[in-house]
Amino acid sequence: MGPPGTVQAHQPRVTLPTTDPTPEQRIWQVVAEIPPGTVASYGQVAELAGLPGGARRVGRCLSRLPAETRLPWHRVVNATGGISLPGEAGHRQRQRLIDEGIAFEGDRVALDRCRWSV
Tell me the CATH number at 28: 1.10.10.10
16 within some domain:
no
**What DSSP character marks residue 71?**
S
Q: Is residue 17 part of a domain?
A: no
Q: Which residues of the chain have pLDDT under 70?
A: 1-18
Residue 87 lies in a domain: yes
Dist. CA 116–CA 106, nearest whole Å:
20
- Global pTM reads 0.83
The per-residue pLDDT for range 69-83, each reduced to its tens digit, is 999 999 999 999 999
Torsion over CA: 94, 100, 102, 104 (sign): positive
Distance (Å, whole) CA 69 – CA 48: 21
Per-residue pLDDT, 5? 60
Host domain of residue 41: 23-63+72-113
**Angle (deg, nearest 10), helices 55-63 and 23-33:** 80
50 is a domain residue? yes
Strand partners, 115: 39
Is 11 a domain residue?
Answer: no
Q: How many domains does the chain have?
A: 1
